[in-house]
Amino acid sequence: MARKIRTFENGMRNLLKSGLCGLICLMIGNSAMASDKAMNAHDFSFPSIDGGEINLADYRGKAVLVVNTASMCGYTPQYTGLQALWSDYRAVGLIVLGVPSGDFGGQEYADDSEIKDFCTVNFDVDFPMTTKQSVRGDDAHPFFKWAEAELGSDQAPKWNFHKYLVDPNGNLVASFATRIKPEDDAVVSAIKEALAGA
């Protein structure tokens, strides 16, 4: 009888241990999920085309338009509109961030210095730009993976010059397809609205 009681006690002890372990694992899992959900654009950084890092956290309080760009694309003239946005709204808190990518049709130079020269010579671009990055698939930069997870795959880049708008608090608030030009009313209105909330 004593042996049965001892066996029962051991069984209960093991059950409590495994239950406690399961509870702890569940709490850790939920905590990890919560921290993933809490993530925003300010948690990301990019290598700058000029050297060093571009930390999006440094743009707290500003709206950021993140655009995957390409030098040899039919949409490359959108650089003119992006530069105009930067010139018109930088003083009130807009950052335009160009992210060169060859993901779509291989329409970007291989060398970052060629990309920079092309943008400067042809479009007088002086807004911040990153080094060449992947923006889709398994190799995508973490920002683009996060943006797709936030808004869904239908709002992910399908071609060059896709635009994401981040508000001053680091929230992803809008996505604009390639064909929507930087000077389009929808883009300008969204930027103004984001800046008004700064």
Residues marked as catalytic: 73
Contact predicate 156/147, CB 8 Å: yes
Distance CA 197, CA 171 (A): 12
Q: Which amino acid is at 167?
A: D
- DSSP E strands, 91-147: 94-100
Distances (CA, A) of 69 to 97, 103, 135, 137, 178: 10, 10, 10, 17, 10
